[in-house]
Amino acid sequence: MNIRQYKYSDRSGVEKVQFETGFIGKSMAELISIPHMWNEKIYYYLDKESKNILVLEDKGEIVGYALGCFQGTRRDVVLPTIKYSILNIFRLIFLPEKDKIFWKGKIKAYLKIITGISSERSFKLPKGAAHLHINLLPEARGGGLGSKLLKRLFSNAKSKGVDRIYACSYCTSLNPNDNFWFKNGFSEFSKVRTMFWVDQYPDENIDLVCYLKDL
């Protein structure tokens, strides 16, 4: 497998990985049938900071990525996500039934966060730090490739003046991954119980965790 800089022709491959890992490490195909509505949340990285993306390639196929946000802020990523979520309200009538059920639940979850009903309203992010988003397909996990991706991304970030970087991840027994962050030098910055996946896993305790690392 090869780690290299992102090219525009990799876009569909990156979007595929995003879709195939979005359901707490599993494919979103179980929940929705229109990939681009889920993938909209990474459009900021692809459109605005493509130079800060690394991909993991295996035999010409993209099997993983690390997206870096070194120039913008979390706000630059979150605001478009909120915008797309609002747009989804107007899209609902045109969606297949499976997608309607999923997005209705997610819109309710966002409203609970905004109104303070969900504890996620208290979730804290480090000010002035860059951030990243990383995903690997199941077949690419477990061999240290994720750590190698991060190491390359850290080097790129430091060369651009970044001295702190964070990542947010869902922590659950379904997809335990906190050791991955700790072994790569991150520490826990904040953690809240999330309601985002409550429709899919009503009996599962799922935390949203922010991990922070000094470079």
Q: Which two tokens mark 143? A: 């061999």
State the helix-helix crossing angle for 97-115 and 74-91, rounded to 10 degrees: 130
Domain boundaries defined on the chain: 2-167
- Neighbour tally for 208: CB within 10 Å: 20
At 165-179, the pLDDT tens digits run 999 999 998 888 889
The fold of 2-167 is Aminopeptidase (3.40.630)
Per the model's pLDDT, the better-predicted residue between 81 and 10 turns out to be 10
Residue 28 has pLDDT above 90, yes or no: yes
Query: Per-residue pLDDT averaged across 35-45, rounded?
Result: 91
Helical H segments across the chain, by residue range: 11-21, 35-39, 43-48, 74-91, 97-115, 145-159, 178-183
Contact 79, 177 (CB under 8 A): no
| pLDDT interval class at 83 (50, 70, 90) | low
- CA neighbor of 119 nearest in space, from 109, 127, 129: 109
In this prediction the pTM is 0.91
Quote the CA–CA distance of 74 and 82 in Å, as a whole number.
12
At 100-150, the pLDDT tens digits run 999 988 888 877 777 777 777 788 999 999 999 999 999 999 899 999 999
Is the CA virtual torsion 53, 58, 62, 65 positive or negative?
negative
| pLDDT interval class at 82 (50, 70, 90) | low
